[in-house]
Amino acid sequence: MDTEKMKQDLGGAVFDMGEINPYGQFFTGESYLKMLTTEGVGIGNVTFEPGCRNNWHIHHAKSGGGQILLVTGGRGYYQEWGKEARELHAGDVVSIPPEVKHWHGAANDSWFQHLAVEVPGEETSNEWLEAVSDEEYKRLR
């Protein structure tokens, strides 16, 4: 891990990056997870090394649900199926409705960090799908 590059990209990170992500099998590259709370609303601090991204996935819910990303550092991307990727920077907020296929992760030259807020709902679940292909990812700026 290039600690100096991480500090430069993430600035004065507020939250601890945590341990290696236990959901790492659904990511390309290395990510870290620190759950900040699991009471009421689950909030996790997710840190991605440069080039790391999660697989396409869907947050299912009978009602309510979805996810909100609060970007805290670095440069990354969010993309919904069939749409162009959106570049993300500290201060950006992404509201992800339930039932939307999407992915998010770091740019290839920057660490990336966001808080993942799980929106409460009924009968919520997460469906992990295929990896974002290297070809798709390389098309990003």
Q: What is the spatial distance between Cα 40 and Cα 50, in angstroms, rounded to a whole number? A: 32
With cut-offs at 50, 70 and 90, classify the pLDDT of residue 12: confident
- 35-89: pLDDT as tens digits: 999 999 999 999 999 999 999 999 999 999 999 999 999 999 999 999 999 999 9
pLDDT at 90: 96
Residues facing residue 64 across a β-bridge:
121
| Confidence band of 8 (pLDDT split at 50, 70, 90) | confident
User: For the segment 14-35, what is each residue's pLDDT rounded down to a tens digit?
Assistant: 888 999 999 999 999 999 999 9
What is the rounded CA–CA span in Å between residue 66 and residue 134?
26
